[in-house]
Chains A and B, each alone.
Chain A
């Protein structure tokens, strides 16, 4: 048999490595509809991140304790986030629950100008420029929204742009009937 020169086999070997990487990628991508977030029923990650609107200040999980809030992961680069923008503003208008934003892997100056331009539905926004915090929350795509209760427990997670249907069917019913005072730590 003739000897196979290594340079002709190399592409196949490299492809084999790629397959391994992709397989790991699949294994780690949560199935959207089947597996619920492992965070549900568990305490939300604690964090202390710079504020988007006020870069000198920090947004911390401690400030948010004792109140219901919606933790919304977004970025200006994310089209689906633009789609839920109107719904988020509507949620803000209801005054039922404050929105806490996590500006994910974004250019803060672009994000600030985006909110100035399109309207800011958030009570506070934490900046997660390197994507570390989103990893703690198990985020794999934007937008994702977590409902957190006053004890700091994640009650519900919604993946994708929030629609009117999702708000009325999935989020509103989980809120307490007697509307507690919204978190006011930073306002």
Chain B
């Protein structure tokens, strides 16, 4: 009964999404106020139906209803309650439900957020979101319905993939999807502006908080995934340049570019068509990412999530959504005029470089990701693209970006005059260079050619980000939250650069075979193995080792790396023990039983690795802080439509629209 209710709610949601799209887009086009008034009830109804549907699926999981195929394939009665709920997004159909639910949530938020904006614009935004919702609901119902029944029901489920039974990974998809889907709002704002044929500085101000929020979630989502990969896999580090990782990273790069170009559009009325294009591309890349992940055309770390037969539908959806957005762009973007010019050394130039470099970085990642697709069938030769391609090409565009950042944030708008800041910037640079080289060559031996460069750039970014806030503090000038947020995000970036550099240069690892009482040395650390003990959990049994960790002979921690065998699927997973000592991560993974009480152990010391993820969260926190700025709290907005520039733009365009 409950699954049928869920399916029915999903069908209703699809119909309501269709109404939402129709009224939202056609209402303003035909100037029907009553149609526009129907948009809010439609989107609210859609949300309620989607939430009902998701609630039904969760209920089936909680009740262990193994007559539902999706539940039977992804859950098990021995699974703890927490993972029974998280199992919802453990496979394809359920993660689509999660996607649709989050999109409905963003749509409701957008409906509330735009309620004070001009009615036709708000209506178009929700209309465009309705088109996306409709597409995904249709896709789910047509190809991936999670409510299908089994006859007869299975006595018990096949259980959730054990590698997914982990708090980090349970949290990763919802957060990442929130970011992915959030970019749909920026896309909808761009779509509404193009349908209207008008884009002014107010538009950029309305769009900024939505973009930044989506970006912040995306940052956290990517960091969670990378963190999980690090401590579960432990073998190859924290980033694999895997197609699925790239699929989340490319929209992030685009969203980062969009945040910066929106700043220019808001402050100076420039880069308008470029900003539109970025808003379209950022969400398009998350759609293309979905395609790559779900269609199974690319081989990936995450290949268990792929389902090849569904690719065709997503491709058709891509063509409709992205194709029409880009066609609209080709038609409307030429209408947008820049409101001013700027000098080469002005902040606008720096942000332009920022955008060019970020888009280039994104393009290189994109090229590397789809290269196997092109090379294979065309027979250009078989390509295997991996870190040897990605690392250098990515650095090629990112290093100049990092170098320009420190100067760029101090350049003035319109006329670039660093003025008195030039001196202190130079001082900061010298300090950073000294620290960079000093740390790398002084404290550590070894390292790579780029290590001092990386540390110096990171330190420079942090120091120069601090100049402005400190200056304001000394002169008792209040700091707007937007500036504070930007500063925090840039400091996060600096920390990120330093920690990546440190991990790349100074990681130490060793594989050893030890019997109880045996000691292994790695750097200044001693690991004393004390043997293993059996352990038992809700749906697994296994062994836990005991390793005493000492640093220069002083006791630091007792570590318990585990090896678990999950009963239902006969799958063994490795749970590394990780201890953070000072700023280094010490990792011990339990390997194979070599017999006679001897075990193989993998030991790693990675300095600063935790700061990579911490930095991502700092960046996200900076974004959230910026959103809370007073400027974005929408007071009644009569001025919005009445700026002289906007007034001048409106009649011309509406005429061309009518004619």
Contacts and interface: CB of A to CB of B under 8 A. Distances in A.
Interface of A: 2, 4-5, 8-9, 11-12, 15-16, 18-19, 21-34, 76-80, 82-87, 90, 105, 107, 110, 113-114, 116-119, 129-132, 135, 140-142, 160-161, 163-164
A8 B384 CA distance: 33
A119 B334 contact: no
Contacts of A131: 382, 384
Given A87-B570, A160-B304, 18 more contacts: A2-B334, A4-B330, A16-B323, A19-B323, A22-B291, A23-B315, A25-B311, A26-B295, A26-B308, A29-B296, A33-B309, A83-B162, A83-B571, A90-B570, A113-B235, A116-B592, A117-B591, A118-B574
A16 B589 CA distance: 48
A105 B591 contact: no
B297 interface: yes
A21 B382 contact: no
A131 B375 CA distance: 12
Contacts of A110: 235-236
Contact of B565 (A84, A86, A117, A141): A86
B236 A141 contact: no
Nearest to B600: A117
B344 interface: no
A78 B308 contact: no
B296 to A, nearest CB: 5
Interface in B232-286: 233, 235-236, 240, 242, 273, 277, 280-281, 284
A11 B330 CA distance: 8
A142 B300 CA distance: 8
A83 B158 CA distance: 14
A30 B308 contact: yes
B384 A130 contact: yes
A103 B80 CA distance: 35
Given A19-B315, A26-B312, A116-B600, A4 B326 contact: no
Interface in B466-489: none
B163 A117 contact: no
24 contacts: A8-B333, A11-B280, A12-B327, A19-B318, A22-B288, A22-B373, A26-B315, A28-B376, A32-B308, A76-B235, A77-B240, A78-B301, A79-B304, A83-B161, A83-B304, A86-B565, A113-B235, A113-B511, A118-B591, A118-B592, A141-B296, A141-B299, A142-B299, A160-B304
Interface in B282-337: 284, 288, 291, 295-304, 306-309, 311-312, 315, 318-319, 322-323, 326-327, 329-331, 333-334
B651 interface: no
Contacts of B296: 29, 32, 140-141
A33 B308 CA distance: 9
Interface of B: 161-163, 233, 235-236, 240, 242, 273, 277, 280-281, 284, 288, 291, 295-304, 306-309, 311-312, 315, 318-319, 322-323, 326-327, 329-331, 333-334, 370, 373-374, 376-377, 382, 384, 386, 511, 565, 569-574, 589, 591-592, 600, 602
A25 B311 CA distance: 9
Contacts of B288: 18, 22
Contacts of A34: 309
A141 to B, nearest CB: 5
B572 to A, nearest CB: 4
A contact patch SS: helix
B168 to A, nearest CB: 14
A163 B573 CA distance: 15
A47 to B, nearest CB: 15
A24 B236 contact: no
Contacts of A24: 373, 377
Contacts of B295: 25-26, 29
Contacts of B382: 130-132, 135
A78 B306 CA distance: 13
Nearest 9 Cβ contacts at the A-B interface? A117-B591, A25-B297, A12-B326, A86-B572, A26-B311, A25-B373, A141-B303, A9-B330, A29-B297
Nearest to B296: A29
User: Most B CB atoms within 10 A — which of A5, A79, A163?
Assistant: A79
User: Most A CB atoms within 10 A — which of B308, B309, B322, B589?
Assistant: B308
Given A83-B163, A131-B384, A163-B570, A8 B297 contact: no
A86 B160 CA distance: 17
A86 B304 contact: no
A145 to B, nearest CB: 14
A129 B600 CA distance: 26
Contacts of B370: 18, 21, 25
Contact of B297 (A18, A22, A105): A22
A40 B574 CA distance: 35
A153 B604 CA distance: 44
Contacts of B163: 79, 82-83
Contact of B318 (A22, A86, A129): A22
A21 B373 contact: yes
User: Most A CB atoms within 10 A — which of B297, B370, B376, B600?
Assistant: B297
Contacts of A83: 161-163, 304, 569, 571
A50 to B, nearest CB: 16
B161 to A, nearest CB: 7
B659 to A, nearest CB: 11
Given A19-B315, A116-B600, A85 B572 contact: yes
A156 B485 CA distance: 58
Contacts of A80: 303-304
Nearest to A111: B235
Given A15-B326, A26-B312, A114 B297 contact: no
B41 to A, nearest CB: 35
User: Most A CB atoms within 10 A — which of B273, B315, B569, B573?
Assistant: B569
Nearest to B513: A116
Contacts of B572: 85-86, 118
B308 A105 contact: no
Contacts of B233: 79, 82
A29 B310 CA distance: 11
Contacts of A77: 236, 240, 242, 301
B244 to A, nearest CB: 11
Given A12-B327, A83-B161, A29 B236 contact: no
A186 B473 CA distance: 74
Nearest to A85: B572
Given A26-B295, A26-B311, A11 B303 contact: no
B333 A15 contact: no
Given A29-B308, A118-B592, A8 B329 contact: yes
A34 B319 CA distance: 26
A164 B333 CA distance: 58
User: Most B CB atoms within 10 A — which of A8, A87, A142?
Assistant: A8
Nearest to B328: A12
Contacts of B327: 12
Contacts of A135: 376, 382
Nearest to A3: B334
A12 B312 contact: no
A86 B163 CA distance: 13
Contacts of B322: 15
Contacts of A31: 308-309
Given A83-B161, A130-B384, A141-B296, A28 B326 contact: no
User: Most B CB atoms within 10 A — which of A24, A33, A129?
Assistant: A24
A79 B333 contact: no
